[in-house]
Amino acid sequence: MIIVMKVGSPEAEINRICEECQEKDLTPEKIVGRHKVVIGLVGDTASMDPLQLQEISPWIESVMRVEQPFKRASRAFRHGQPSEVVVNTPNGAVTFGENHPVVVVAGPCSVENEDMIVKTAKAVQASGAKFLRGGAYKPRTSPYSFQGHGESALGLLAAAREASGLGIITEVMDTADVEKVAEVADVLQVGARNMQNFPLLKKVGSQDKPVLLKRGMSGTIEEWLMAAEYILAAGNPNVILCERGIRTFDRRYTRNTLDLSVVPVLRSLTHLPIMIDPSHGTGKSEYVPAMAKGALAVGTDSLMIEVHPNPSKAWSDGAQSLNPAEFDELMGDLSLIGQPLGRWETTPVAVG
Amino acid sequence: MIIVMKVGSPEAEINRICEECQEKDLTPEKIVGRHKVVIGLVGDTASMDPLQLQEISPWIESVMRVEQPFKRASRAFRHGQPSEVVVNTPNGAVTFGENHPVVVVAGPCSVENEDMIVKTAKAVQASGAKFLRGGAYKPRTSPYSFQGHGESALGLLAAAREASGLGIITEVMDTADVEKVAEVADVLQVGARNMQNFPLLKKVGSQDKPVLLKRGMSGTIEEWLMAAEYILAAGNPNVILCERGIRTFDRRYTRNTLDLSVVPVLRSLTHLPIMIDPSHGTGKSEYVPAMAKGALAVGTDSLMIEVHPNPSKAWSDGAQSLNPAEFDELMGDLSLIGQPLGRWETTPVAVG
Amino acid sequence: MIIVMKVGSPEAEINRICEECQEKDLTPEKIVGRHKVVIGLVGDTASMDPLQLQEISPWIESVMRVEQPFKRASRAFRHGQPSEVVVNTPNGAVTFGENHPVVVVAGPCSVENEDMIVKTAKAVQASGAKFLRGGAYKPRTSPYSFQGHGESALGLLAAAREASGLGIITEVMDTADVEKVAEVADVLQVGARNMQNFPLLKKVGSQDKPVLLKRGMSGTIEEWLMAAEYILAAGNPNVILCERGIRTFDRRYTRNTLDLSVVPVLRSLTHLPIMIDPSHGTGKSEYVPAMAKGALAVGTDSLMIEVHPNPSKAWSDGAQSLNPAEFDELMGDLSLIGQPLGRWETTPVAVG
Amino acid sequence: MIIVMKVGSPEAEINRICEECQEKDLTPEKIVGRHKVVIGLVGDTASMDPLQLQEISPWIESVMRVEQPFKRASRAFRHGQPSEVVVNTPNGAVTFGENHPVVVVAGPCSVENEDMIVKTAKAVQASGAKFLRGGAYKPRTSPYSFQGHGESALGLLAAAREASGLGIITEVMDTADVEKVAEVADVLQVGARNMQNFPLLKKVGSQDKPVLLKRGMSGTIEEWLMAAEYILAAGNPNVILCERGIRTFDRRYTRNTLDLSVVPVLRSLTHLPIMIDPSHGTGKSEYVPAMAKGALAVGTDSLMIEVHPNPSKAWSDGAQSLNPAEFDELMGDLSLIGQPLGRWETTPVAVG
């Protein structure tokens, strides 16, 4: 932590600040510049709040953090090694990680009925997906929109799991539902709107299933990693980070702005595996294939793609869903890019 | 709802779309423009999703909403009349509303101990505040920061209520805590990070205490009113909307960008009372007085100001807290502006 | 400037960096922390680029600036004293500054014809405005929109000046037009889109007329002050900073988000006078009065309000223009707030 | 254009509006909905301003545009066919366009001296670049930073052109410099800060050299296409659109947020070729290769990469520059993705 003093700060005040820092078990080191004095603080400062330190004196101009505030999520925590999130599915163990083939998650926005979810699961499995996504509990902007079938949809997801062999990823929104959802899901999803729902993060952190943590619409990378830190600190080491588009000034042609640069940035900051969701990221199915290909080339470890057997009849998010044929074609295109990059499963899968 | 067709759309397709809309109980009306055809849909479209409608045909260029998606929150719902949220406090009933004096809520970020919260309550009451704010459950970016004293702090708030006669406003973050918090609080606060925590909105909507709904950091005005709609639709008519700063590209000198223009905008859209929080809105105590005065002149119905007996020792948010003397001086300054505007309580209050 | 080294940086590299800094006439001071080493650089670093310094070594994690990059624009440059921009108008000298009454600038978006501009000038003068605004050269999003009458409109502004006694503020967009515009204008306006048009800033900095510098739509406060620094460094000390709304994620109900918090922030950073433009800031005339009142209470030194004799017939920006009667009413309302704050001219003006 | 009337609008007012529209040569068609009346306007509305129309009556709630405001830039203008921008370079004609190999532009931020620019030109040519970038006139945030060598640097670019056979792309910032720059440059660059410098757009539109138009930091896609429309409308059909990162709320790890989704969006809206600049887009050389690969996979027609012989000694933007060896390696990696996509030149180039 670095304290920058205002021009003309009295020496007595600077000394007083140094003393106050010593009381907090920090060792202050003064640098007297041409115009300003700065004080470097040596010690355990990672969990200190710079804004708080600033309150020590009105002569403090600013306090700058040198240490990153996240620890368990940091790349350094694993000495530079990427972590692997291994998930057991009926079809076998699937690994999310930097040194593994890209894992594709596909399925509808919401679980509508048994027929559609089983049909979708089989179709996306045939095209090479390893996980089925599908919402039982749906966060909807309007209280008058379809809110998901809730608990009864969990049973339908279990049926689709059995029919297809795919792992299940589904969202949990309320601490009260975590146990129930964890009984069926292979991976629990925390949605963008709940990235900083701290009670929920603590709760999913204290159970065993891996957690998919979506980035909030205006979540900074640092806040996102701190949200992951909540889960890690609660004891769950299996966190996957999913970018799904951020909110910017231009929302006319895309619903969000998919920030693919998080891939190299996260790679340098954290050991956690990365997923990209181009469906929410753009909000329009016609833009999904291009952005999925871009995500693969940028280096993502996983992709989440919305697929619906009949997008125009979907109960939610139809506009951003591919149909199974479009998804199959996309998987073929992805393999063209993924193979030379060494990130595509080479075992033959049934691609149309 | 208006459907805009792409240039060159085949007439058969336009007719098919019209038929499909009729099946949804809507009456389509075609307008044939120079280049494009648009279809106006007459009927109950308020709860329909434009993105969904767009999926009917690839020839649809865009779908534009004409009706506002919020109903109970709309100004029209009360035929243009503002609503009043009346809260009983030990010192008497206090009314939040457009035709009432501005209500000032003050207190620390978090409840630290009985002495500080009682002391602060008495001080802000003496300066003219009607409500005490203070966090028992605190949303913190880091899992390693002080998370609030939780349940035990609720008892301290009750003590401060008794000692000062002020009403209590405190945040609830988890559906599991709503009942517990509602036993002590006079107004339940839903924080910015939970603006779209829909299970929480439903839960606070189904209990009796008024709800203070903070705007999310990147919540649009429409999303904010839809969040209020969740509470109203669940049966609770007493909602106060609180602006506390939005996230923009410039975060160097202020923590957020306080959007005072919400006041006239909300006035034209909704009947609900409005509160402004310049403490979170700026994040720096030295900017709070100017922005509080601005909020009053813009026409807010209420102000929330962080006050701490000793900001430099605060456990959280000290940087944005006034001390009691600064708060008292601010209240005096506010009365100078509030009185000529007819929005300041004229009964003499003890202003230092 | 502070250099933060990555964890595990070799000592030899740290020493090499220190030597390289010494070659740049900086004195490095090392602070060895628990995990990281930071190097404080003492010397003339204000004009150095942190990103550039970072290139010295791949072991550098980040470089943080301690000095502000602006000098002449900084409050410290005038030892904490505000500057005053005095403009001679036919009706007498008018002073923009923190210790003076708020100066009101009013007029139409664009100069349409002699009759309308003279009529508007007289009307706004009668209500208390000191300056007439009016565009001869108009920046328009579309090449097919009215681009302003250009040079011929300058003559009409001169006529309005003579008829009303008001000073003239008008925009210049091209270095080639600066001299021509400066012959007529009392204050040259650099528009939001040109905040970082550096050739234009240099040009208006090298002539004598005061300059009104609007904040760019996504200009940070630091970039804005650096733009002012261009003008000051070129020799022109008379710069007024005008906030006119920034671009954020929510543009549904207002054209821009008027950032009133710039007033206290700029006050702490710079000596330059401040103007607020609620007309562009909101884009809707019905929101202008509330935001003008707010700006006054926040502490602005000046207001710019669009007024058109018949907004519904305006050639540009009619939606955000008041008519003369609305403007007159607003001036009356502003005096109610401005007088107790000591920022309103007490000499009787003809308020209807 | 669609006019939406407020609930309860008097019929006489609706009729009056219809009449006023007829005076503007528009044919109004009324749709009477359950709660609201909307009026569709048939006729030449593309260049009309919705905000202006709204001023016709206070009973108008909103006005929505149905036609896109850009014409010459629209995909429909060329009946769905992409345009090709062909540039003659000493090494032969190079074509920018959707059905051509990706064109790579490389070189330093600024031209520092003859030796470095010639050396860089030869190096990037050897690795497969077709154009050399290099700034003679530099837009710099600070007036105290190196502003480019100006006119004398143009001669050095000419020398590099001759030595390497590459085409030259360089920025012009002032209308007064357009002719001078156009004598040397093969493509004139309009920088992000000048995207809405309308006099400059008109000037580059009225000369013969192709124009590279960078997206402004907060330029919407619609504004960007309208800026292109200025150039096209002035008579110059050769415009390339370059995305270089937009400004968002998170600027801690990257300088800007590179918006790769513009590629599929622009593809659907315009016939103009697209370039991506990952160097400015991220601001950090370590993130450039990943984002360049992503841009290629997303479907860009061209890439602009900053290359400097010795980034740590660069006079500007060193932090985001690759050195020649890194660039050469990147070109090899790009070919792996570009070849299966059919977007990479198959003629053998000297890739190290």
Looking at residues A225-241, what average pLDDT do you find?
98
For B34, the closest of D38, D42, D249 (CB atoms) is D42
> In sequence order, which residues have a C-beta less than 8 Å from that of residue B120 and are 6 or more positions away?
B106, B107, B108, B132, B134, B160, B307, B308, B309, B324
Express as a percent the part of chain C with pLDDT over 90: 75
ipTM greater than cut 0.90: yes
Measured between beta carbons, which residues in chain B are less than 8 angstroms from residue A255? 51
Q: Encode pLDDT of A179-219 as tens digits.
A: 999 999 999 999 999 999 999 999 999 999 999 999 999 99
Q: Which amino acid is at B328?
A: D
A193, two tokens? 């709107």
Q: What is the pLDDT of residue A347?
A: 62
Report yes or no on A346 lying in a domain: no
Measured between beta carbons, which residues in chain C are less than 8 angstroms from residue A218? 249
Measured between beta carbons, which residues in chain C are less than 8 angstroms from residue A70? none
Mean predicted lDDT score pLDDT of chain C: 93
Q: Is A68 helix (H, G, I), strand (E, B) or coil?
A: coil
Q: What is the pLDDT of residue C348?
A: 52
Q: Do B252 and B106 belong to one domain?
A: yes
Mutation choice for A interface testing from D248, D261, D333 by most A CBs within 10 A: D261
Task: Please report which residue ranges of chain D form alpha helices under DSSP H.
Answer: 11-23, 50-53, 114-127, 151-164, 178-184, 198-205, 221-233, 262-269, 278-282, 288-298, 324-338
Residues D156, D114: Cα–Cα separation, whole Å: 5
- In this complex, do A248 and C251 lie within 8 Å of one another by their Cβ atoms? no
Residues D50, D59: Cα–Cα separation, whole Å: 15
Q: Which amino acid is at D224?
A: W
Q: Do B202 and B331 belong to one domain?
A: yes
Nearest CA in chain B to D45: B34
- In this complex, do A253 and D221 lie within 8 Å of one another by their Cβ atoms? yes
Closest by Cα among A121, A108, A104 to A162:
A121
Q: Do C110 and C10 belong to one domain?
A: no
Q: Do A131 and A55 belong to one domain?
A: no
CATH code of the domain in which C17 resides: 3.30.70.1140
Report yes or no on B350 lying in a domain: no
Q: Do A167 and A314 belong to one domain?
A: yes
Q: What is the pLDDT of residue C351?
A: 43
Q: What is the pLDDT of residue C347?
A: 62
Count interface pairs B-D at CB distance under 8 A.
Answer: 55
Q: Do B38 and B99 belong to one domain?
A: no
Question: Strand C103-107 to strand C274-276: parallel, antiparallel, or no bridges (unpaired)?
Answer: unpaired
Residues in chain A: 352
Residue segments in chain C with a per-residue pLDDT below the cut of 70: 47, 347-352
Q: Do B43 and B105 belong to one domain?
A: no
Nearest CA in chain A to C33: A42
CA dist list (Å): D199 to A216, B103, B319, C117, D196: 40, 51, 46, 25, 9
A145, two tokens? 């929109």
Give per-residue burial for B225-253: e unless 16+ CB within 10 Å, then b. bbbbbbbbbeebebbbbbbbbbbbbbbeb
What is the phi/psi pair of residue D93, to 5°?
-75, 140
Residue segments in chain B with a per-residue pLDDT below the cut of 50: 349-352
* Domain around D203: 85-341
Q: Which chains touch D (3 or more CB pairs under 8 A)?
A: A, B, C
Q: Do B20 and B143 belong to one domain?
A: no
Q: Which of the listed residues A65, A97, A112 is the one where a domain comes to its end?
A: A65
CB atoms within 10 A of CB B11: 10
CATH code of the domain in which C125 resides: 3.20.20.70
- In this complex, do D258 and A260 lie within 8 Å of one another by their Cβ atoms? yes
Q: Which chains touch C (3 or more CB pairs under 8 A)?
A: A, B, D
Residue segments in chain D with a per-residue pLDDT below the cut of 70: 47, 347-352
Helix, strand, coil: what percent of chain B each, to 5?
Answer: 40, 20, 40
Nearest CA in chain C to D229: C143
Report yes or no on B73 lying in a domain: no
Q: Is B86 helix (H, G, I), strand (E, B) or coil?
A: strand
Q: What is the pLDDT of residue B250?
A: 94
Residues C197, C190: Cα–Cα separation, whole Å: 9
Confidence of residue A300 (pLDDT cuts 50, 70, 90): very high
The number of distinct structural domains making up chain C is 2
Model confidence, pTM: 0.94
Residues A316, D98: Cα–Cα separation, whole Å: 34
User: Contact, C312 vs D55, CB < 8 A?
Assistant: yes
Q: Do D44 and D156 belong to one domain?
A: no
Q: Do C215 and C300 belong to one domain?
A: yes
Count interface pairs B-C at CB distance under 8 A.
Answer: 117
Report yes or no on C74 lying in a domain: no
What is the phi/psi pair of residue C302, to 5°?
-160, 155
Report yes or no on A56 lying in a domain: yes
Report yes or no on B101 lying in a domain: yes
Q: What is the pLDDT of residue A230?
A: 97
- Dihedral of the CA atoms D314, D320, D325, D328 (nearest 10)? -130
Report yes or no on B178 lying in a domain: yes
Q: What is the pLDDT of residue B350?
A: 47
Q: Do D142 and D213 belong to one domain?
A: yes
Q: What is the pLDDT of residue B347?
A: 62
Mutation choice for B interface testing from D38, D75, D246 by most B CBs within 10 A: D38
Closest by Cα among B51, B207, B230 to A147:
B230
Residues D80, C189: Cα–Cα separation, whole Å: 42
Closest by Cα among D111, D36, D160, A203 to B67:
D36
- In this complex, do D314 and C52 lie within 8 Å of one another by their Cβ atoms? yes
- In this complex, do D29 and B31 lie within 8 Å of one another by their Cβ atoms? yes
Q: Do D131 and D16 belong to one domain?
A: no
Report yes or no on D290 lying in a domain: yes
Q: How far is C250 from chain A (nearest CA, A)?
A: 7
